[in-house]
Every structure is written in structure tokens, then in C-alpha cells.
């Protein structure tokens, strides 16, 4: 067994590897860039080494810097995590040349599966079903157009060297192909240093299902069942679950057998994932093989009861698998939500900044948090915007979803925008509960965008009741403060009140509830008893509304209360009827007219400026391309106009809402 492992990665996955290594009694070395100095993973490890500037190319992708760190610390093995160099055959070969174990598959297996075109050929020869597409990379747009016409639209442009949504474009016609191919090539080149793309038929209404495999050095290959990863945005997974609500036992067995056959065909060793695309009738086709640990590996661990990182380490140390296929059993259901620093209200633009408050839900047998941050951490523009992975487990799918929604309600994050509320809203959709998933789920269910201030009847009833009880507790405390003005009317916390809940107003009457230790809110929903032991210093309201347990995040903002629950977020004010009437007469503040400016919707780097000062542009025309957290974003003109000033240059770093261009006023 190894004595010391260096983790060639950062954040959440580095912390995850450290935990398993520590259980095995193995020392750990973290590496960090200038942007990650003092980061959680660097503090958790037994040792930590600086490896370079913030840019990944100069630190986490710098093989020479990593080899120096290995030599300095005396590490005898390297775990690459996922991303960065985890699927670099050259890195694995460089380690082997230095006598350092790579905790991953052999370099030739990485190379074979890393080239998506070669992987398709190997899969077909191994008897794995593949999607119709080009045999080789397409050299130019005309060749791609000819191939697409033969395959039939819609088609998917895919990077030959990549994954994770980089260099992928779904196109529905030739015009879209000609525009999308340039972006796919640019994105693939930037992400993988390889701009080759190929064309593949797009399976309509598809689902993304993958099989986890483990293979040891003795030739034993087993699979641990499947994960459903269909809830995606821009080809990036958002919510995953195990098992899949789509598969039956026959399909599961067939998919698992094909995954194992592919692993054997390439002489695989370590943990790996074979990804499939499936239609709603359970027909499935090979997508790619990820020769590394997957982000979503915890749900398989929860269901199979097997520590995948531990297995990777043991296999790399030469140990055979201690179990056979017939020993693998599924236990219940698991869900994973990826908590990202992004703003769903503004089209999911990345968010950077300081985590001024960070409180995870308590870990239990059914709740697990894999995080790479703690309170005070910085979310940087240089890396992936993931904050943490929240994982829940239950005896069945319904229980796993319920545990996840409750855990999301208890997850407190301040200082950056995040997607926890959006994830809760996704889980609350009836279609999700029914298991009717596809990779287009988010686009179809949230096509008009995400507005957390829109309340359904249940949310309105709960949040009115919680706002009323919180107000009653605050008013009762205020009434007990000494030094009250002589002759002033006594402060009250019951009686008639108006609750302004975001965009709606609700007349209620509050009465003490002697039985429940709370109050009864009488209004449009009838008598609603609400009970809690909440106190004014607390940010989590835990109690019951009409006997149903609820957890609502409560944050005082001046005279208002910011309430967050089940994906809803509103500002509430509780006033006397007279105060509410007077407040309604206050003039509304006029919004600034920003229609003449192109603003950066996110922090990022200016990659290109297709339009210049003095140009007349048409609606839909590309104006700027901004790279944000490893993804290219094309900013387009909303309407026809003339550019009078360009305020940035290619290579400039942008802040959110920074002015990029100014247009002429309407004439």
C-alpha cells in the first residue's frame, strides 16, 4: 500500500480523496495555485505545495510543477481526481517514467477512450451499440454539412478529444451547423488543445444513463449499476440519481454487460464510467467512456455501499477486487444535486465572490455533503463554479427526493448567487416526481426562465404563516424592551395585519394558539396554525404549518424579511392595515435606462469582439464572446442599432454588469 498520495487537483474532489486516504492510513499532499492559497483542500491535507499562478495552465495543468511537488514531498502515488489531468495519458506516462503510481487506468486505455472517434470504433468491435455518425473527424464545414445531410438532422457536433459539454453543439439545420461548428472547434481547442470534431445523430427526447465499472489488474471487471444524469443544462449535469427510473432489470443487465465488455476490450484498470444515451423506449447507445472518477460517484457509493476512491487506491496498489459481480447489491435510492455559484434568475451566469456565510445541512445516514469550501472561501473566476455536491439517500425514490428538498432548504449560502433554490424547484416539478426525464427537461420546464418570486398556493400559505409568526416573535420581544416612550400605545403582536409577500398582499388576523405554542393565521386560506420555537437570532425557521414540518430560511433586511423555501424566495413585510395603506401610496423608484448598453452578464474574459465601433448591427448578430469558467458565451444584439463606443478589448477581464459597448440613442 502507498505511504503518501499527492492529489493533483483542488476543491471538493481533493477533499474527497483526502478523506478516503486518511481512512486507509495514507498520508496526503495537496497542491494549490496562487488563487487557492489557504483553500480548504490545502488545509485538510497533511502537506501542501504551491504549484503556480491562478491560471490552470500554469498550475493544475502544469506537469513539470506537479512532478517537482512529487519529488519535494516524496509522494509515491498520484490521484488526479476529475478534470484537469485526470484523463491525460501523457501525465500518466510521465509519472510512470518517474516510478510514481497513477491512481487511474493505464495510459493506453486513457488514450483509446479519450479519442471519441477511436472509442466509437472500439465499442462497435466489442459489441456495444453505437449512434450513427461519422467514422472520422470532419475537416471543414462543407464536409460536416455533407455528413449531416446523410445522417439526417438534428445532429450533434462533438469534440473528438473532450467531454463535460465542452465543444458540443446541437444543430437542427445547415445554417445552425455552419455557425455552431466554429464555436465547437474554438471551445474544444481551448479546453483540450484539440479542435477536431465529429458529427453524430441526435437522439430526440434523450436520457443520459451511465454505468459505473471497476476493473482490477487481474482482469476482473464488475459494474455497480447505473446512474441517471438526464437533468442537464448546456450539456452539464445538474441532478443525478441512482438507480435510473427508466431502466428495467433486463435493460440494466444488458447495459452493464456492454459496459464491462468495453472495459475488457481496452484492458481497463481502476474505476471508470461508460455513458449511454437512451430513448424513452429503453433503446440505448454508447456515448463515451470517462476514464476517471465521475463527479456524481457518491450516489453509486450510497446505493452500492462501496467506497470508489478506496477501490481506486487498492487497485492501483495491485490488489484484486475483493468481490464479484454477484456480490454487488443495490440499497435504496440516492440523489445528488450540484450546488453551483451561478444566478438562475439571470440565465445562470457564473457568480464569484466571498462566501460570507456558509452553513451545510447536518450530515446523517441519509444526507452527505461533499464540499471544497467553508465559510470565508473565495469563489474564483479561474475554475469550475461548483461549491459542493449534496447527496441524499432513502429507501425509495420518493424518500430520496423528500430528503433532498429538506436538505436544500437547510443549506445556507451568502455572498454569491447560487442555484440551490432552482434545484429545489426542479425537484418539485410533477414531471420530475413521475420520473419523466430527458436532457431537455430544464429547457422545457423552465423555458421562460426561473422566477423564485412566483408562488403557488402552498408556498403562499406557508410563507404568509411563517412571516406572521416571525413578526409576532419580533414584536413580542420589542414590547419587552425597557425604556419605552411614556404614553405611547403598547406594542402588539396579535390582531389584524397586512402581509406583503413579494408581489402580493394578504390581510390576516393573528391569534395566540394555546395548544400549539404558536399562532393561528386567519386569512384567505382559513385558519392556519403555525408553530415553532424560532427565536429572533436564528436564520432557520423550523416548525410546522397546518401540522406539516417546514424549514424556511429567514434573513432580516431592515424592516423586511427575506424568506427562502422550496425554491421560492420573497421579501415579506408585516404591517398594520394603516401602515400598509400609507406604504402603497409611496412613489415607485424609476429604473435606470440601460437599453443603450451591452453589459457583461457575468465575470469573464473577452475572447472576441465580432462587431466594432461604428458598425450597424442587426438583432441576433454576435457582438462579443466572453469566456466564463471554461465556457464560451456569445452575446448578441437584442435589436437593430449602431455601435458608438466599444469600452473593452480582447483579453480584458470583465466584472458582472460591466459595459462592453454603447449604442446610439434611438433617432
Active-site amino acid positions: 288
Closest C-alpha among 391, 420, 366, 543 to residue 472: 543
Spell out the residues 6+ positions from residue 59 whose beta carbon is closer than 8 angstroms to its own. Answer: 31, 32, 33, 34, 51, 52, 53, 65
Q: CA-based diameter of the chain, in Å?
A: 91
Closest C-alpha among 95, 92, 51, 59 to residue 75: 95
- 228: three-class secondary structure by DSSP: strand
What residues form DSSP beta bridges with 646? Answer: 661
Per-position b or e across 46-65, b if 16+ CB within 10 A of its CB: ebbbebbebebeebbbbeeb
Backbone angles phi, psi at 93, to 5 degrees: -70, -40
Q: Which uninterrupted H or E stretch holds 557?
A: strand 548-557
CA–CA distance, 559 with 571 (Å, rounded to integer):
10
**Is 626 within 8 Å of 607 (Cβ atoms)?**
yes
Please, what is the Cα angle at 339 between 335 and 345, to 5 degrees?
A: 115
**Is 612 within 8 Å of 589 (Cβ atoms)?**
no
Dihedral of the alpha carbons of 449, 452, 457, 459, in degrees to the nearest 10? 150
Q: Which uninterrupted H or E stretch holds 462?
A: helix 457-479
End-to-end CA distance of the chain: 75
**Is 227 within 8 Å of 241 (Cβ atoms)?**
yes
Sheet of strand 155-159: strand arrangement: 169-171, 155-159, 197-201
Amino acid at each position: 500500500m502507498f505511504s503518501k498520495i499527492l492529489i493533483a487537483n483542488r476543491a471538493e474532489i481533493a477533499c474527497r480523496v483526502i478523506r478516503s486516504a486518511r481512512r486507509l492510513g495514507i498520508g496526503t499532499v495537496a497542491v494549490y495555485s496562487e488563487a487557492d492559497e489557504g483553500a480548504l483542500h490545502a488545509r485538510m491535507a497533511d502537506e501542501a505545495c504551491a504549484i503556480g499562478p491562478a491560471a490552470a495552465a500554469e498550475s493544475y495543468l502544469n506537469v513539470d510543477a506537479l512532478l517537482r511537488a512529487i519529488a519535494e514531498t516524496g509522494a509515491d502515488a498520484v490521484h488526479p481526481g476529475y478534470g484537469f489531468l485526470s484523463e491525460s495519458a501523457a501525465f500518466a506516462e510521465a509519472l510512470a517514467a518517474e516510478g510514481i503510481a497513477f491512481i487511474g487506468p493505464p495510459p493506453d486505455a486513457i488514450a483509446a477512450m479519450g479519442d471519441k472517434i477511436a472509442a466509437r470504433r472500439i465499442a462497435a468491435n466489442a459489441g456495444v451499440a453505437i449512434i450513427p455518425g461519422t467514422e472520422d473527424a470532419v475537416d471543414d464545414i462543407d464536409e460536416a454539412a455533407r455528413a449531416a445531410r446523410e445522417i439526417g438532422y438534428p445532429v450533434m457536433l462533438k469534440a473528438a478529444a473532450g467531454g463535460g459539454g465542452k465543444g458540443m453543439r446541437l444543430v437542427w439545420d445547415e445554417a445552425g451547423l455552419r455557425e455552431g461548428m466554429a464555436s465547437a472547434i474554438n471551445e474544444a481547442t481551448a479546453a483540450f488543445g484539440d479542435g477536431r470534431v465529429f458529427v453524430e445523430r441526435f437522439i430526440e427526447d434523450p436520457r443520459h444513463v451511465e454505468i459505473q465499472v471497476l476493473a482490477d489488474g487481474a482482469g476482473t471487471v464488475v459494474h455497480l449499476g447505473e446512474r441517471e444524469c438526464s437533468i442537464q443544462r448546456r450539456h452539464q449535469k445538474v441532478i443525478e440519481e441512482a438507480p435510473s427510473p427508466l431502466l428495467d432489470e433486463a435493460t440494466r443487465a444488458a447495459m452493464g454487460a456492454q459496459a464491462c465488455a468495453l472495459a475488457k476490450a481496452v484492458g481497463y484498470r481502476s474505476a471508470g464510467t461508460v455513458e449511454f444515451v437512451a430513448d424513452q423506449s429503453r433503446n440505448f447507445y454508447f456515448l463515451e467512456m470517462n476514464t476517471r472518477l465521475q463527479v456524481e460517484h457518491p450516489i453509486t457509493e450510497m446505493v452500492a455501499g462501496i467506497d470508489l476512491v478506496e477501490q481506486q487506491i487498492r487497485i492501483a496498489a495491485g490488489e484484486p477486487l475483493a468481490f464479484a459481480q454477484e456480490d454487488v447489491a443495490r440499497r435504496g435510492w440516492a440523489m445528488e444535486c450540484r450546488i453551483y455559484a451561478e444566478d438562475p434568475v439571470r440565465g445562470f451566469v457564473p457568480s464569484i465572490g466571498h462566501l460570507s456565510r456558509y452553513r451545510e445541512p447536518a450530515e446523517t445516514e441519509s444526507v452527505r455533503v461533499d464540499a471544497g469550501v467553508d465559510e470565508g472561501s473565495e469563489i474564483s473566476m479561474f475554475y469550475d463554479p461548483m461549491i459542493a455536491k449534496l447527496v441524499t439517500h432513502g429507501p425509495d425514490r420518493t424518500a430520496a427526493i423528500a430528503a433532498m428538498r429538506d436538505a436544500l432548504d437547510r443549506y445556507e449560502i451568502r455572498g454569491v448567487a447560487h442555484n440551490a433554490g432552482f434545484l429545489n424547484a426542479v425537484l418539485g416539478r410533477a414531471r420530475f416526481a413521475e420520473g419523466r426525464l430527458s436532457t431537455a427537461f430544464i429547457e422545457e420546464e423552465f423555458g421562460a426562465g426561473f422566477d423564485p418570486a412566483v408562488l403557488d398556493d402552498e408556498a403562499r400559505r406557508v410563507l404568509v404563516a411563517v412571516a406572521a409568526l416571525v413578526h409576532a416573535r419580533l414584536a413580542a420581544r420589542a414590547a419587552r424592551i425597557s425604556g419605552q416612550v411614556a404614553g405611547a400605545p403598547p406594542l402588539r403582536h396579535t390582531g389584524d395585519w397586512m402581509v406583503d409577500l413579494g408581489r402580493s398582499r394578504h390581510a390576516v388576523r393573528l391569534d395566540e394558539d394555546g395548544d400549539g405554542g404558536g399562532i393561528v393565521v386567519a386569512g384567505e386560506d382559513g385558519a392556519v396554525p403555525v408553530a415553532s420555537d424560532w427565536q429572533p437570532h436564528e436564520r432557520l425557521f423550523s416548525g410546522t404549518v397546518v401540522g406539516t414540518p417546514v424549514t424556511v430560511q429567514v434573513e432580516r433586511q431592515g424592516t423586511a424579511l427575506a424568506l427562502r423555501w422550496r425554491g421560492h424566495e420573497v421579501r415579506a413585510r408585516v404591517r398594520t392595515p394603516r401602515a400598509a395603506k400609507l406604504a402603497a401610496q409611496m412613489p415607485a423608484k424609476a429604473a435606470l435606462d440601460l437599453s443603450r448598453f451591452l453589459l457583461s452578464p457575468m465575470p469573464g474574459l473577452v475572447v472576441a469582439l465580432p462587431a466594432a465601433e461604428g458598425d450597424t448591427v442587426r438583432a441576433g448578430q454576435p457582438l462579443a464572446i466572453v469566456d466564463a469558467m471554461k465556457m464560451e458565451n456569445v452575446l448578441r444584439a437584442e435589436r437593430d442599432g449602431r455601435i458608438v463606443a466599444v469600452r473593452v478589448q480582447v483579453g480584458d477581464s470583465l466584472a458582472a454588469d460591466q459595459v462592453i459597448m454603447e449604442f446610439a440613442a434611438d433617432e
